[in-house]
Amino acid sequence: PGDEVGAAVVDAGDYVCFTGSTAAGTRVAERAASGLHGASLELGGKNPMIVLADADIDKAARGAAYGAFSSMGQLCVSMERIYVERPIAEAFSAAFAERVRALVQGPQLDFTADLGSLTSAAQLARLRAHLEDAVGKGARIVVGGSPRPDLGPFFHEPTVLADVTSEMACYAEETFGPLVALHVVDSADEAIALANASRYGL
């Protein structure tokens, strides 16, 4: 764990390149600064995608599936929220759900699966906590939503939610897993305002 080895690595190195949470990155930056070590930090995010009414729906759905679920959503650039203009929201949601359902998930290492596993029990627990909190507060599962212990201990279906509200943890907190929320907006300006309404850098 980082708390056990992080300080030693920072102290012993000449330069620190860290990828992880904003909270951990703050500690790494402070430790690096105390030793006058250079540092590059790639930290948490809640990355948005905006789909406007004139979009090619199939292309947008394909891009959303790739952008949200590559590496099981465990990339710093993974999309976790999608803002869709109302005139195409229903059609986009259907096309996106169809793309997600078609993804092949499995433990094999021969490139026959599109998706693999989460990295740890902690990541699975965080995903489940966000999902259960959202559903418990009224979110609707569009596709996915279940663990896949038949494939391995940390496998979980890629999951798309609708009706996510600001009271839910997954609305603004980084999940860092295969969970994405669809939001319907009435204009590009509204989408941009919501995309920018985040404590994370974009």
Model pLDDT for residues 59-68, shown as the tens digit of each residue: 999 999 999 9
Q: What is the pTM of this model?
A: 0.89
Q: Per-residue pLDDT for 201 more than 80?
A: no
Higher per-residue pLDDT: 69 or 109 = 69
Q: Determine phi and psi for 38, rounding to 5 degrees.
A: -70, 155
pLDDT of residue 193: 97
pLDDT of residue 119: 96
Which is it for strands 140-143 and 159-162: parallel, antiparallel or unpaired? antiparallel
Cα–chain-centroid distance for residue 201?
14
Residue 89: pLDDT band with limits 50, 70, 90:
very high
Q: What is the CA radius of gyration of the chain?
A: 18
Give the residue numbers marked as catalytic: 42, 76
How far apart CA 65 and CA 83 sit, in angstroms, is 14
pLDDT of residue 202: 66
The whole-chain average pLDDT of the chain stands at: 95
Determine the average pLDDT of the residues in 27-53: 93
Residue 74's identity, in one-letter code, is Q
Question: What separation in angstroms does the CA of 97 have from each of 94, 125, 161?
Answer: 5, 24, 10
